[in-house]
Homo-oligomer: A and B are copies of this chain.
Amino acid sequence: MTKGRVTVIDIAKAAGVSKSTVSLVLQGSPLVNEATRAKVNVVMRELGYVYNRGAATLRQTTAKSRIIGMVVNDLTNGFFAELAVGVDMVVQSAGFVQFLANTAENVDRQQEVIASMREHGISGLIISPARATTALDLKAITEAGIPVVTAVRNVPGAKCSSLVSDNAAGTLQAVSHLVSLGHRRIAFVGGYPDTMVFEERLRGYMEGLKSAGIARQEAYVIASSASRAGGVEAISKALKLSEPPTATVCFNDAVAFGVCDGLRSQGIEPGRGFGVVGFDDVIEAKAAVPALTTISVDPQAMGRKAAQLLLRQINAGKAEAEAVTTAVRLVVRESCGQGFPARAETA
């Protein structure tokens, strides 16, 4: 039952110096006598002093709170949990502390937590935006001069940097992987050609074929909805071709599951003879199926990168010149045959 919380003035008194001296010690200033510094530190320990960062932040210009906000659209999904871990690592070792909030894909909630974090004076924000997030949602905070970095998804038009996965490189790797397993008839299935993401992934697929010296086959690009059902539909079409593929690169993992379903219903076991690579789109990551190989960013690495980027901006005093979007390299994760892919081991 400490009565009134102990303050700099208390410890100044007890150490027989002035408050400013104490303050200097607190900031590790070199202007203070070594002996004095030691004494002050001892007294602080004795009295159980705890630094009041709130007061400091109040006094200082602003936003030197050393707290960074992290908002995530689905913490239940292991991918994002790891993302947060990555962020936490660098944030912690930089002497910052992390606010974490989960939005569960709810934009309203997202706005609430961002507002709340602002009230607490976060020095910067890392956000994996909820689905329907628009530039407008981020306008207030970016205009306040608080550095913002988006990860995983990006928000077109927002004045902030972002980290997204390198889609083309991912599907390219997927193709190379399948080729190295001996496949030559490789299809690209799922998704509709009206999104940027689709274009990118398709492009990587094409490049992969090309660099393997495989001629492109129109019929091997099979669009469908980017869902499990879409995957089923697409693979059934594929298998009816006169020369059916022996492997597929799937637009995302939902599609990949559908493909597996479809294969099984034809008595074909995915992963044994028939290669299936799913683009781990994060969304369905938690339902990974064993027989599936997956292309995905390393979430922890992405988190670390995001945090570094943000800290750089914070230290630079202002937000980056303009919105920069960086593509993060992807990693092929072999299925592990039992349980689920050993994601942690790739970290």
Contact = CB atoms under 8 A, between A and B. Distances in A.
B48 A140 contact: yes
A113 interface: yes
Contacts of A223: none
Contacts of A143: 1-2
5 cross-chain pairs, A with B, having the tightest CB-CB distances, nearest first? A81-B81, A100-B100, A54-B54, A53-B119, A51-B119
Interface string A332-346: 000000111000100
B121 A52 contact: yes
Nearest to A63: B5
A189 to B, nearest CB: 21
Contacts of A54: 54-55, 57-58, 65, 120-121
A346 to B, nearest CB: 12
Interface string A44-86: 0000101111110110001001010010000110100110110
A5 B48 contact: no
Which of A50, A51, A54, A113 has the largest number of chain B CB atoms within 10 A? A54
Nearest to A5: B62
Contacts of A55: 54, 58
A18 B92 CA distance: 41
As for how many copies of this chain the complex holds, the number is 2
A236 B199 CA distance: 55
A320 interface: no
A118 interface: yes
A289 B338 contact: yes
A101 interface: yes
A109 interface: yes
A98 interface: yes
Given A62-B5, A119-B50, A81 B92 contact: no
A79 B290 CA distance: 20
B109 A101 contact: no
A287 B339 contact: yes
Nearest to A300: B76
Contact of A85 (B76, B82, B109): B76
Given A75-B81, A76-B85, A140-B48, A338 B120 contact: no
Contacts of A112: 92
A62 B54 CA distance: 11
B1 A145 contact: yes
Contacts of A338: 289-290
A144 interface: yes
A97 B92 contact: no
9 contacts: A48-B140, A54-B121, A58-B58, A88-B102, A92-B112, A92-B113, A97-B116, A286-B344, A287-B339
Interface string A307-347: 00000000000000000000000000000001110001001
A220 interface: no
